[in-house]
Amino acid sequence: MHTLFIADLHLDASRPQITQLFEDYLASDEARQADALYILGDLVEAWIGDDDDAELPQRIAHATKELRDAGVPVYFMVGNRDFLLGEDFARRAGFTLLDDGTVHTLYDRPTLLMHGDVLCTDDVAYQAVRKQVRTPEWKAQILAMPLEARRAFAAKAREDSRAHTGSTMETIMDVNAGAMAETMDKASVTRLIHGHTHRPAVHRLELGGQPAERIVLGDWYEHGSVLKVTPDGVELRGLAVG
């Protein structure tokens, strides 16, 4: 019995070996025998709309649909790179969409699931932008643009970010400890799983006198990263490319 978690794959046509690793992993025995697969956001580097007719979204939908059809539920929560992903694609890909901050009980243990960006409250500039771009009005305005214009918009954003940080990886502030404790307390959980920060770790902590844990999923820039949750505990490990 095991449940799998991945996040921050940042799949992109420029890193075909990572797309291949994703497809191979979803077809593996470990994935096919799982009780469920959770994808906690930033599956792709940039999502420009469910009507994108590029090869990558089709490959993703094919891989996840096959897993779903093999009897494994696939849950998806958007991240800051793919928050424009909607019901249309979810249907094609066999995903069940989850709201950020959903609590699922895994082997009797209530577990809070988040992408993680809302906990990075020290990054005030990021939170302001997040608030602006997540409104239905802003999303509708972007999605009303022709596909080619959205493609150019995404390419430009990537270029700007690269010029700013000097690399393809963004510098992300870590989660705020107070925001984390408050969010876990409000959700009445002693376990939180999230991604976004690209700082994979299993943090043991104490919340209100009780042992608790915060598990951070790793990114898939150079290799893969998977969390396996069983009735006995958790195992966070890397996946080598081919």
How, if at all, do strands 201-207 and 109-114 pair?
Answer: unpaired
Whole-number Å distance between alpha carbons of 84 and 143: 8
- Give the C-alpha distances (Å, rounded to integers) separating 140 from 133, 134, 158, 241: 10, 10, 21, 38
**Which strands make up the sheet holding 95-97, listed edge to edge?**
95-97, 74-76, 36-39, 3-6, 224-230, 233-239
The closest of 103, 68, 87 to 194, measured between CA atoms, is 103
User: Quick one: 7 or 229, whose CB is closer to Mn ion?
Assistant: 7
User: Quick one: 119 or 187, whose CB is closer to Mn ion?
Assistant: 119
* Rg from Cα positions in the chain: 17
197 touches Mn ion by CB under 5 A? no
- Residue of 31, 42, 175, 219 interacting with Mn ion (CB under 5 A): 42
- Residue of 79, 94, 200, 218 interacting with Mn ion (CB under 5 A): 79
80 touches Mn ion by CB under 5 A? yes
Which residue stretch of 45-53, 76-84, 147-155, 214-222 sits at the interface with Mn ion (rule: CB under 5 A)? Answer: 76-84
The distance in angstroms from the start CA to the end CA of the chain is 26
Which residue stretch of 89-97, 123-131, 154-162, 189-197 sits at the interface with Mn ion (rule: CB under 5 A)? Answer: 189-197
User: Quick one: 173 or 239, whose CB is closer to Mn ion?
Assistant: 173
111 touches Mn ion by CB under 5 A? no
55 token code pair: 């090869």
Longest dimension (CA), the chain: 54
The closest of 197, 178, 175 to 186, measured between CA atoms, is 178
Contacts of 118 (CB under 8 A, 6+ apart): 100, 101, 127, 130, 179, 183
- Residue of 15, 191, 196, 198 interacting with Mn ion (CB under 5 A): 196
Residue number, nearest CB to Mn ion:
196
User: Quick one: 80 or 183, whose CB is closer to Mn ion?
Assistant: 80
- Closest contact distance (angstroms) between CB of 90 and Mn ion is 19
Total residues contacting Mn ion by CB under 5 A comes to 4
- Closest contact distance (angstroms) between CB of 185 and Mn ion is 24
Which residue stretch of 9-17, 35-43, 118-126, 147-155 sits at the interface with Mn ion (rule: CB under 5 A)? Answer: 35-43
Which residue stretch of 152-160, 191-199, 205-213, 218-226 sits at the interface with Mn ion (rule: CB under 5 A)? Answer: 191-199
Binding site for Mn ion (CB under 5 A): 42, 79-80, 196
